[in-house]
Amino acid sequence: MGIKDLLRFMKPYILPIHIQKYAGKRVGIDAYSWLHKGAYSCSMELCLDTDGKKKLRYIDYFMHRINLLQHYEIIPIVVLDGGHMPCKAATGDERQRKRKANFDAAMAKLKEGNVGAATELFQRAVSVTSSMAHQLVEVLKSENVEFIVAPYEADAQLAYLSSLELEQGGIAAVITEDSDLLAYGCKAVIFKMDRYGKGEELILDNVFQAVDQKPSFQNFDQELFTAMCVLAGCDFLPSVPGVGISRAHAFISKYQSVERVLSVLKTKKGKLFPDNYSSSLVEAVSVFQHARVYDFDAKKLKYLKPLSQSLLDLPVEQLEFLGPDLTPSVAAAIAEGKVDPITMEAFNRFSVSKTPLKTPVRSFKEQEKSGSFLERIELKRTADEAMIDPEAVLKEPKYSKQDLDLHKLVLQPNKDQMVIRTGNPSLIPNNNPFKIRKTDEMNMESEEYGLQQLKVSFGTKSEGMDVSCSSPNSKEHDCSEGQKEVIIDLSKLVDDSGVKQDCEKNREEEGFESTEDDVVEIQGHVNITTKRVRGAKPRTESFKVKTSSTCSENKKAKINKKSSILDFFHRL
DNA sequence: AGCTAGTACTCAC
DNA sequence: GTACTAGCT
């Protein structure tokens, strides 16, 4: 939702620019915007979780834009969303239901054979999942693109980076579609950046300094501006009925103080003014000012802006609304993309895996991002696959039978079973001209993700879980085109043979040859204690962990398409 | 004039 | 998440 009507209201201050303006500078990117847009190019594939490269087109979209920035010598800093703020309004159930309805309608159209109508409906059903985010993180890692997973809102983290000096790792501007960045006090924000690098920019200082410009913010400071945003209605607090951006601005201009505006509003609105509105507004403004963010240098959480005395006087428990505190190690693990910020599960070396949470209440964003029905994830792109004719892919008859099977899985998301198909995560779209990968880097990564990953925690209550996953030994990079397949049988609830067969079938279809020779297996037990920092009770669970790796050596030679940056821009 | 609520859109072969 | 708009106060 952002700040209701803020961008329209601020239109006079929003000017067209080209990102070239930021050549040589560091620029922050609100990953959610691009993930969401990119998802449109493959919404059906994402919803159905089909196998194949088309599902990863959102990565293509994202990386093409990263490449665009790099072409203009901009240093992109990708910021991803982390956990959810406790105070976030629970407006999501409605959207979630709509998505589900669109998904069901899309499946119906698909059964009828009306692919066009289905595609349209899938576009309304698609949402950004944490699997997608993590998949992106893996590609960013492999491409050496700087990224950070915010402890909570990416917006707050971006605003924090924007407040830092360049030498401290600060950024000169933020690219986003979200008006919240302004409420957080981001100095320079670029909206609606297109594929050529054109966008619309708002410089906050220009707003405060402008004379003879309407609407006028001459007597505003950042706090009043943020208060205006909250009054107009934001994610943390809906506005008082009848108050929108114009009236919010008028009130703040006139009374120059949050307290006075609130008391006037109270007498004016009478019964329409909610009892706890004043305290909620002050809290919401505080979140925009002091939200918890990650300090990359100190490697711990800190506040976007140092706490005021009145906040410092509060007992620590009452500061939870700024984002619950996280221990430095947890905060760092989240920031570096090693731990899922919502479930607190360690990410698998190759992919994301998790069952839907069984906690009674899940917020909208939580459901949206943790992938309510997209529990299967694949990263199995190979160079071979990249050679497949797109036409042929489209003609594959998989949309009939296989998707019905998938649909069953979708309708029973609680089944404690999933199949994770993984491949070399470093493989980025083959049409990607900036694919430069150094082998030693890859090996370093593999070490970093080594056996410690056996200590992963799994956020389920299942017992006796068998985890088969690819062993991250250095060898596998010698056969980076090889494919790994992981099957997790979390319970005996479901007969897994069907799924396994599907996998085998896929392997054949894709010409995958598994050689038993290089299968490595490690088996053992690990005891895991998961400390759920946000609200839930700590758990200790015991899992049987089995690791195996399958690599195929005799893969076709990689296509050595010499794709230069110029090639890429010619295609644009 | 401004707020509310409903609809349409984001990609790109 | 946004933009646009018809209809209401």
Contacts of A41 (CB under 8 A, 6+ apart): A57, A58, A60, A61
Question: Three-class SS of residue A78?
Answer: strand
Q: Is residue A482 part of a domain?
A: no
Q: Is residue A563 part of a domain?
A: no
Closest CA to A400 of A85, A107, A18, A35: A107
**Which stretches within A313-352 are classed as H helix?**
328-335
Token readout for A2 is 């952002």
Contacts of A167 (CB under 8 A, 6+ apart): none
Radius of gyration of chain A (CA): 25
- Measured to protein CB atoms, the chain C nucleotides within 7 Å are 1-4
The C1' atom of C2 and the CA atom of A440 lie apart, in whole Å, by 43
A105 and A15 within one domain = yes
Percentage, residues of chain A above pLDDT 90? 56
A115 touches strand B (CB under 7 A): no
For B1, nearest residue by CA–C1' is A246
What one-character DSSP code corresponds to residue A431?
T
Q: Quick check: A214 and A191 in contact, CB under 8 A? A: no
Strands (E), A282-408: 292-295, 300-303, 377-378
Nucleotide showing the shortest C1' distance to residue A180 CA = C1
**Which stretches within A219-344 are classed as H helix?**
222-232, 245-255, 258-269, 277-290, 309-312, 328-335
Question: Three-class SS of residue A210?
Answer: coil
Q: A314: exposed, middle or buried (C-beta count within 10 Å: 0-12, 13-18, 19+)?
A: exposed
**Residue A94 pLDDT level (bands cut at 50, 70, 90):** confident
The C1' atom of C9 and the CA atom of A249 lie apart, in whole Å, by 20
Q: Is residue A479 part of a domain?
A: no
pLDDT digits (tens, 9 = 90+) for A197-236: 999 999 999 999 999 998 999 999 999 999 999 999 999 9
A190 and A232 within one domain = no
pLDDT, position A19: 97
Nucleotide showing the shortest C1' distance to residue A95 CA = C1
How many Å from the N-terminal Cα to the C-terminal Cα in chain A? 32
Q: Quick check: A550 and A519 in contact, CB under 8 A? A: yes
Nucleotide showing the shortest C1' distance to residue A242 CA = B3
The residue-averaged pLDDT of A362-388 equals: 31
pLDDT, position A419: 30
A288 and A166 within one domain = no
Query: How far is Cα A266 from Cα A383, in angstroms, rounded to an integer?
Result: 64
Closest CA to A29 of A141, A167, A186: A186
Q: Is residue A534 part of a domain?
A: no
For B8, nearest residue by CA–C1' is A124
pLDDT, position A261: 96
A318 and A263 within one domain = yes
A96 and A41 within one domain = yes
Q: Which domain holds residue A238?
A: 222-323
CATH value at residue A151: 3.40.50.1010
A96 and A58 within one domain = yes
| Total domains, chain A | 2
A244 and A129 within one domain = no
Residue A44: pLDDT over 60: yes
A117 and A57 within one domain = yes
A136 and A251 within one domain = no
pLDDT, position A350: 52
H/E stretch holding A133 reads: helix A130-142
The residue-averaged pLDDT of A184-206 equals: 97
CATH value at residue A276: 1.10.150.20
Domain boundary among A174, A204, A234: A204
Q: Is residue A339 part of a domain?
A: no
Domain boundary among A301, A323, A345: A323
A186 and A42 within one domain = yes
The C1' atom of B5 and the CA atom of A500 lie apart, in whole Å, by 48
A91 and A36 within one domain = yes
The residue-averaged pLDDT of A494-505 equals: 40
Residue A125: pLDDT over 60: yes
Domain boundary among A267, A296, A323: A323
